[in-house]
């Protein structure tokens, strides 16, 4: 009996050891499954951010053109392609702080994170489609004269002084090259009512107020026609 009892005891011990081993392996597999599930989850944290940026860029292009070249609809939408990133950032902040007014952009700018602003401004800067054109070509020579030499009799300096000989701007000074002529006309004609609306918090736009004010309608149309032809 002792021999038989010993055998039973050994068998019971073996079963117990085997059970513990199986349980341990099951626990390890469970942990491994959790670990494997956690890895894709960590990767997903990057993807939605990129998708959100691309979605917002697509959203902006519904107004500003599929290549950021601008769009003529009920109102002319400005070209953002090739625009100076710092200028875009500055103007988005101006919309937020109500230094610049636009019922659509005032709302759009409020929901953009700094990271999104950086992405959008750089993305538009990197685009370089051909200008849309459409300006009266007869006005281009006179516009070129104003752009390069100003209107001394009206205290209007050459546009090239700030915007550059190629009209591509610099830092917070905007690019004008390839901009829709009708958009330039609308902005210059209504500059005082749309820009620099907080004199106590003036920005680079304040430099343009007296210049825009001193230009005649004809001169505005001329310089707008000229810059719209530049690439």
Overall average pLDDT of the 56-71 stretch: 97
Q: Is the pLDDT of residue 153 over 70?
A: yes
Lowest mean pLDDT across 23-27, 51-55, 122-126: 23-27
> Is the predicted pLDDT of residue 31 greater than 60, yes or no?
no
User: For residue 113, is it within any domain?
Assistant: yes
| Site of tokens 């500003």 | 64
- The answer to whether position 14 is within a domain reads no
Query: Is residue 75 a part of any domain in this protein?
Result: yes
pLDDT band of 229, cuts 50, 70, 90: very high
Is there a domain that residue 80 lies in? yes
For residue 220, being part of any structural domain is answered with: yes
Average pLDDT, the chain: 84
Residue 34 clears pLDDT 90, i.e. is over it: no
pLDDT of residue 103: 87
* Residue 118 structural domain: 54-229
Give the count of domains, the chain: 1
Share of the chain above pLDDT 90, in %: 69
Q: What CATH number does the domain containing 173 carry? A: 1.10.760.10
Looking at residue 149, its pLDDT comes to 98
Tokens 């309608």 — which residue? 217
| 3-state SS class at 116 | helix
3-state SS, residue 71 = strand
Identify whether 9 is part of a domain: no
Tell me what pLDDT residue 196 has.
82
DSSP code per residue over 125-170: HT--PPP---S-GGGHHHHHHHHHH-BGGGTB--THHHH-TTS--B
**177 vs 21, residue with greater confidence:** 177
Q: Among the ranges 30-39, 41-50, 96-105, 195-204, which has the highest mean pLDDT value?
A: 96-105
Query: In the predicted model, is pLDDT for residue 213 greater than 50?
Result: yes
């Amino acid at each position: 009996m002792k021999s038989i009892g010993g055998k039973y005891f050994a068998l019971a011990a073996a079963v117990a050891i085997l059970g513990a081993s199986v349980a341990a392996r099951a626990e390890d597999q469970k942990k491994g499954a959790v670990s494997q599930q956690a890895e894709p989850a960590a990767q997903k944290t990057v993807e939605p951010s990129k998708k959100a940026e691309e979605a917002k860029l697509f959203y902006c292009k519904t107004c500003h053109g599929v290549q950021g070249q601008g769009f003529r609809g009920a109102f002319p939408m400005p070209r953002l392609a090739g625009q100076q990133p710092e200028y875009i950032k500055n103007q988005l902040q101006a919309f937020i702080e109500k230094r610049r007014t636009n019922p659509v952009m005032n709302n759009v700018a409020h929901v953009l994170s700094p990271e999104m602003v950086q992405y959008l401004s750089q993305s538009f800067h990197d685009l370089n489609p051909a200008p849309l054109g459409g300006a009266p070509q007869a006005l281009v020579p006179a516009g070129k004269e104003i752009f390069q030499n100003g209107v001394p009799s009206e205290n209007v300096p050459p546009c090239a002084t700030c915007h550059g000989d190629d009209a591509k701007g610099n830092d917070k000074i905007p690019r004008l090259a390839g901009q829709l002529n009708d958009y330039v006309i609308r902005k210059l004609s209504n500059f005082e009512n749309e820009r620099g609306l907080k004199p106590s918090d003036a920005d680079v736009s304040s430099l343009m107020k007296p210049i825009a004010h001193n230009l005649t309608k004809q001169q505005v149309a001329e310089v707008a026609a000229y810059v719209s032809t530049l690439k």
